[in-house]
Amino acid sequence: MTEYRLGVIGDPIDHSLSPQIHNLFAEQTNLKIDYQPYRVLSENLNSFVKDFFESGGDGLNVTLPHKVQCSQIATSTSPIVDIIGAANTLKSAKRSKDIFAESTDGNGLIQDLQEKSKIGSANILILGAGGSALSIIPSIADCLPKNILLDNRSQEKIQPLIERFNNLTINNSIIDNIDHFEDDIDIVINATSAGFSGAFNWYRDLNLSKKTFFYDLSYTKDNSKTPFLNWAIQYSDNYSDGFGMLINQAALSYELWTGIMPGTTINKSDLIND
Protein backbone atom coordinates (compact mmCIF):
# COMPACT_ATOMS: atom_id res chain seq x y z
CA MET A 1 0.00 0.00 0.00
CA THR A 2 1.26 3.47 -0.93
CA GLU A 3 2.07 5.66 2.06
CA TYR A 4 1.54 9.40 1.77
CA ARG A 5 4.14 11.51 3.53
CA LEU A 6 2.36 14.62 4.80
CA GLY A 7 2.64 17.29 7.45
CA VAL A 8 1.76 20.73 8.75
CA ILE A 9 4.23 23.58 9.15
CA GLY A 10 3.94 26.66 11.35
CA ASP A 11 5.43 28.53 14.27
CA PRO A 12 4.08 27.71 16.82
CA ILE A 13 2.66 24.32 15.88
CA ASP A 14 1.88 22.55 19.17
CA HIS A 15 -1.74 23.70 19.07
CA SER A 16 -2.49 22.14 15.68
CA LEU A 17 -5.26 19.54 15.38
CA SER A 18 -4.26 18.71 11.81
CA PRO A 19 -2.44 15.44 12.61
CA GLN A 20 -5.48 14.04 14.44
CA ILE A 21 -7.86 15.20 11.69
CA HIS A 22 -5.87 13.70 8.85
CA ASN A 23 -5.30 10.44 10.68
CA LEU A 24 -9.08 10.16 11.05
CA PHE A 25 -9.42 10.82 7.31
CA ALA A 26 -6.89 8.07 6.60
CA GLU A 27 -8.84 5.59 8.73
CA GLN A 28 -12.05 6.48 6.88
CA THR A 29 -10.51 6.10 3.43
CA ASN A 30 -8.27 3.09 4.17
CA LEU A 31 -5.12 4.94 3.18
CA LYS A 32 -1.75 4.87 4.89
CA ILE A 33 -0.28 8.26 5.79
CA ASP A 34 2.61 9.61 7.83
CA TYR A 35 1.41 13.06 8.93
CA GLN A 36 3.72 15.04 11.21
CA PRO A 37 3.70 18.55 12.72
CA TYR A 38 6.82 20.60 12.00
CA ARG A 39 7.78 23.78 13.79
CA VAL A 40 9.61 25.77 11.14
CA LEU A 41 11.08 29.24 11.63
CA SER A 42 10.56 31.75 8.84
CA GLU A 43 14.26 31.93 8.05
CA ASN A 44 14.36 28.15 7.51
CA LEU A 45 11.12 27.85 5.56
CA ASN A 46 12.50 27.80 2.00
CA SER A 47 15.08 25.13 2.75
CA PHE A 48 12.62 23.03 4.77
CA VAL A 49 9.98 22.97 2.01
CA LYS A 50 12.58 22.18 -0.65
CA ASP A 51 14.12 19.37 1.41
CA PHE A 52 10.71 17.94 2.38
CA PHE A 53 9.57 17.52 -1.19
CA GLU A 54 12.96 16.49 -2.60
CA SER A 55 13.10 13.70 0.00
CA GLY A 56 9.76 12.26 -1.12
CA GLY A 57 7.15 14.35 0.68
CA ASP A 58 3.68 14.45 -0.86
CA GLY A 59 1.97 17.41 0.79
CA LEU A 60 2.05 20.05 3.48
CA ASN A 61 -0.56 22.08 5.28
CA VAL A 62 0.58 25.61 6.07
CA THR A 63 -0.44 27.67 9.07
CA LEU A 64 0.73 30.97 10.54
CA PRO A 65 3.00 32.73 9.87
CA HIS A 66 4.00 30.99 6.62
CA LYS A 67 0.99 31.25 4.28
CA VAL A 68 2.25 34.20 2.25
CA GLN A 69 5.82 32.95 1.98
CA CYS A 70 4.70 29.48 0.89
CA SER A 71 2.66 30.95 -1.95
CA GLN A 72 5.91 32.51 -3.17
CA ILE A 73 7.98 29.34 -2.76
CA ALA A 74 5.60 27.31 -4.95
CA THR A 75 6.38 26.86 -8.63
CA SER A 76 2.69 26.90 -9.60
CA THR A 77 -0.39 28.30 -7.91
CA SER A 78 -4.17 28.03 -8.07
CA PRO A 79 -6.30 30.98 -9.24
CA ILE A 80 -7.39 31.75 -5.69
CA VAL A 81 -3.78 31.82 -4.46
CA ASP A 82 -2.98 34.22 -7.31
CA ILE A 83 -5.72 36.52 -6.00
CA ILE A 84 -5.04 36.40 -2.27
CA GLY A 85 -1.27 35.87 -2.31
CA ALA A 86 -1.34 33.17 0.37
CA ALA A 87 -1.58 29.38 0.54
CA ASN A 88 -2.50 26.84 3.20
CA THR A 89 -1.72 23.70 1.17
CA LEU A 90 1.31 22.57 -0.84
CA LYS A 91 1.38 19.52 -3.10
CA SER A 92 4.27 17.81 -4.84
CA ALA A 93 4.07 16.74 -8.46
CA LYS A 94 6.98 14.33 -8.20
CA ARG A 95 7.53 13.70 -11.90
CA SER A 96 8.01 17.38 -12.69
CA LYS A 97 9.32 18.37 -9.25
CA ASP A 98 6.63 21.04 -9.27
CA ILE A 99 5.31 22.42 -5.96
CA PHE A 100 1.68 23.46 -6.31
CA ALA A 101 0.10 25.94 -3.88
CA GLU A 102 -3.61 26.01 -3.04
CA SER A 103 -5.81 27.74 -0.47
CA THR A 104 -8.71 25.69 0.90
CA ASP A 105 -9.64 28.13 3.69
CA GLY A 106 -12.34 30.02 1.79
CA ASN A 107 -14.09 26.97 0.38
CA GLY A 108 -13.80 25.26 3.76
CA LEU A 109 -15.67 28.19 5.30
CA ILE A 110 -18.35 28.17 2.60
CA GLN A 111 -19.04 24.44 2.95
CA ASP A 112 -19.68 24.91 6.66
CA LEU A 113 -21.48 28.26 6.52
CA GLN A 114 -23.88 27.19 3.75
CA GLU A 115 -25.23 24.47 6.04
CA LYS A 116 -26.06 27.06 8.70
CA SER A 117 -27.10 30.26 6.94
CA LYS A 118 -28.11 31.58 3.52
CA ILE A 119 -25.20 33.34 1.81
CA GLY A 120 -26.75 34.25 -1.55
CA SER A 121 -28.25 37.77 -1.56
CA ALA A 122 -27.14 38.30 2.06
CA ASN A 123 -25.48 41.36 3.56
CA ILE A 124 -22.28 39.92 5.00
CA LEU A 125 -20.01 41.85 7.35
CA ILE A 126 -16.41 40.72 7.83
CA LEU A 127 -14.67 42.04 10.93
CA GLY A 128 -10.95 42.35 10.25
CA ALA A 129 -8.83 43.31 7.26
CA GLY A 130 -5.84 41.00 7.60
CA GLY A 131 -4.84 37.70 6.06
CA SER A 132 -7.83 35.77 7.41
CA ALA A 133 -10.30 38.18 5.81
CA LEU A 134 -8.29 38.19 2.59
CA SER A 135 -8.41 34.39 2.34
CA ILE A 136 -12.21 34.11 2.51
CA ILE A 137 -13.46 37.04 0.41
CA PRO A 138 -13.16 35.37 -3.04
CA SER A 139 -15.10 32.28 -1.95
CA ILE A 140 -17.79 34.40 -0.34
CA ALA A 141 -18.07 36.51 -3.49
CA ASP A 142 -18.58 33.34 -5.55
CA CYS A 143 -21.76 32.69 -3.54
CA LEU A 144 -23.26 35.98 -4.77
CA PRO A 145 -24.12 37.82 -1.56
CA LYS A 146 -25.77 41.20 -1.98
CA ASN A 147 -22.98 43.01 -0.14
CA ILE A 148 -19.62 42.11 1.36
CA LEU A 149 -18.90 44.73 3.99
CA LEU A 150 -15.62 45.29 5.80
CA ASP A 151 -14.90 46.82 9.18
CA ASN A 152 -11.62 47.04 11.06
CA ARG A 153 -10.34 48.89 14.08
CA SER A 154 -7.50 50.26 11.91
CA GLN A 155 -9.56 51.90 9.18
CA GLU A 156 -6.58 52.55 6.92
CA LYS A 157 -6.32 48.81 6.20
CA ILE A 158 -9.80 48.55 4.66
CA GLN A 159 -9.45 50.56 1.44
CA PRO A 160 -6.45 48.60 0.08
CA LEU A 161 -8.42 45.39 0.60
CA ILE A 162 -11.46 46.82 -1.22
CA GLU A 163 -9.28 47.99 -4.12
CA ARG A 164 -7.64 44.57 -4.33
CA PHE A 165 -11.03 42.96 -4.95
CA ASN A 166 -12.50 45.53 -7.31
CA ASN A 167 -12.39 42.91 -10.08
CA LEU A 168 -14.68 40.68 -7.98
CA THR A 169 -17.48 43.24 -7.85
CA ILE A 170 -19.78 41.18 -10.07
CA ASN A 171 -23.33 39.89 -10.15
CA ASN A 172 -24.60 42.56 -7.72
CA SER A 173 -22.03 41.62 -5.04
CA ILE A 174 -20.50 44.85 -3.77
CA ILE A 175 -17.40 45.00 -1.56
CA ASP A 176 -17.41 48.14 0.54
CA ASN A 177 -16.64 49.77 3.87
CA ILE A 178 -19.37 49.38 6.50
CA ASP A 179 -19.31 53.19 6.81
CA HIS A 180 -21.27 53.39 3.56
CA PHE A 181 -24.00 50.96 4.64
CA GLU A 182 -27.16 51.47 6.68
CA ASP A 183 -29.27 48.32 6.13
CA ASP A 184 -29.50 45.29 8.41
CA ILE A 185 -26.62 42.82 8.49
CA ASP A 186 -27.49 39.17 7.85
CA ILE A 187 -24.15 37.49 8.64
CA VAL A 188 -21.19 38.67 10.71
CA ILE A 189 -17.88 36.83 10.28
CA ASN A 190 -15.12 37.42 12.81
CA ALA A 191 -11.74 37.36 11.07
CA THR A 192 -9.90 39.22 13.82
CA SER A 193 -7.75 38.02 16.69
CA ALA A 194 -9.60 40.36 19.06
CA GLY A 195 -10.71 38.62 22.23
CA PHE A 196 -7.99 35.97 22.30
CA SER A 197 -6.55 37.52 25.44
CA GLY A 198 -9.87 38.55 27.00
CA ALA A 199 -13.46 39.50 26.32
CA PHE A 200 -14.48 40.55 22.81
CA ASN A 201 -16.00 43.98 22.20
CA TRP A 202 -16.42 45.86 18.94
CA TYR A 203 -15.48 49.52 18.86
CA ARG A 204 -18.82 50.77 17.48
CA ASP A 205 -22.49 49.87 17.15
CA LEU A 206 -23.66 47.73 14.21
CA ASN A 207 -27.08 47.08 12.67
CA LEU A 208 -27.58 43.67 14.26
CA SER A 209 -30.75 41.76 15.12
CA LYS A 210 -32.06 38.42 16.36
CA LYS A 211 -31.93 37.22 12.74
CA THR A 212 -28.23 37.96 12.33
CA PHE A 213 -26.00 34.88 12.06
CA PHE A 214 -22.59 35.13 13.72
CA TYR A 215 -19.62 33.02 12.57
CA ASP A 216 -16.21 32.99 14.22
CA LEU A 217 -13.27 31.75 12.16
CA SER A 218 -11.67 30.81 15.48
CA TYR A 219 -12.82 27.84 17.54
CA THR A 220 -12.46 26.31 20.97
CA LYS A 221 -11.32 22.76 21.62
CA ASP A 222 -14.32 22.05 23.82
CA ASN A 223 -17.96 23.07 23.97
CA SER A 224 -17.24 26.51 25.40
CA LYS A 225 -17.86 29.62 23.30
CA THR A 226 -15.16 31.82 21.83
CA PRO A 227 -15.01 35.39 23.18
CA PHE A 228 -16.60 36.62 19.94
CA LEU A 229 -19.55 34.27 20.31
CA ASN A 230 -19.99 35.23 23.96
CA TRP A 231 -20.36 38.80 22.67
CA ALA A 232 -22.69 37.74 19.84
CA ILE A 233 -25.26 35.98 22.01
CA GLN A 234 -26.50 39.34 23.31
CA TYR A 235 -27.94 39.85 19.83
CA SER A 236 -28.83 36.43 18.46
CA ASP A 237 -29.08 32.71 19.16
CA ASN A 238 -27.74 31.97 15.67
CA TYR A 239 -24.01 31.39 15.76
CA SER A 240 -21.14 28.99 15.11
CA ASP A 241 -17.43 28.81 15.69
CA GLY A 242 -14.97 27.79 12.99
CA PHE A 243 -14.51 24.13 13.87
CA GLY A 244 -16.53 23.03 10.83
CA MET A 245 -14.38 25.24 8.62
CA LEU A 246 -11.27 23.62 10.11
CA ILE A 247 -12.53 20.14 9.20
CA ASN A 248 -13.70 21.13 5.72
CA GLN A 249 -10.52 22.94 4.70
CA ALA A 250 -8.52 19.93 5.90
CA ALA A 251 -10.72 17.57 3.87
CA LEU A 252 -10.15 19.65 0.73
CA SER A 253 -6.38 19.44 1.30
CA TYR A 254 -6.62 15.68 1.82
CA GLU A 255 -8.55 15.33 -1.44
CA LEU A 256 -5.93 17.38 -3.28
CA TRP A 257 -3.18 15.03 -2.09
CA THR A 258 -4.94 11.67 -2.37
CA GLY A 259 -7.77 12.15 -4.88
CA ILE A 260 -10.29 11.00 -2.24
CA MET A 261 -12.70 13.29 -0.40
CA PRO A 262 -13.12 12.08 3.20
CA GLY A 263 -16.24 12.41 5.30
CA THR A 264 -16.37 15.58 7.38
CA THR A 265 -18.70 14.49 10.17
CA ILE A 266 -16.13 14.88 12.94
CA ASN A 267 -16.82 16.19 16.43
CA LYS A 268 -14.47 17.97 18.77
CA SER A 269 -14.68 14.98 21.11
CA ASP A 270 -13.23 12.81 18.32
CA LEU A 271 -10.03 14.87 18.45
CA ILE A 272 -9.69 15.93 22.07
CA ASN A 273 -9.15 13.09 24.50
CA ASP A 274 -8.13 15.11 27.53
What type of residue is 130?
G
Strands 32-39 and 59-62: what pairing? unpaired
Q: DSSP of 155-210, one letter per residue?
A: GGGHHHHHHHTGGG--TT-EEEEGGG--S--SEEEE-S-TTTTS----SS-----T
67 is catalytic: yes
Cβ-based neighbours of 20, under 8 Å, separated by 6 or more: 270, 271
Contact 31, 260 (CB under 8 A): yes
- Beta carbons of 4 and 56 less than 8 angstroms apart: no
Distance, CA of 23 to CA of 5 (rounded, Å) = 12
3-state SS, residue 110? helix
The letter for the amino acid at 69 is Q
Give the Cα-Cα-Cα angle 209, 204, 207 (nearest 5 degrees).
25
Torsion on CA atoms 68, 72, 77, 79, rounded to nearest 10? 50
- Choosing from 32, 50, 67, 116, the catalytic residue is 67
CA distance 253 to 256: 5
Of 237, 238, 235, 216, which is closest to residue 227 (Cα–Cα)?
216
Active site residues: 67
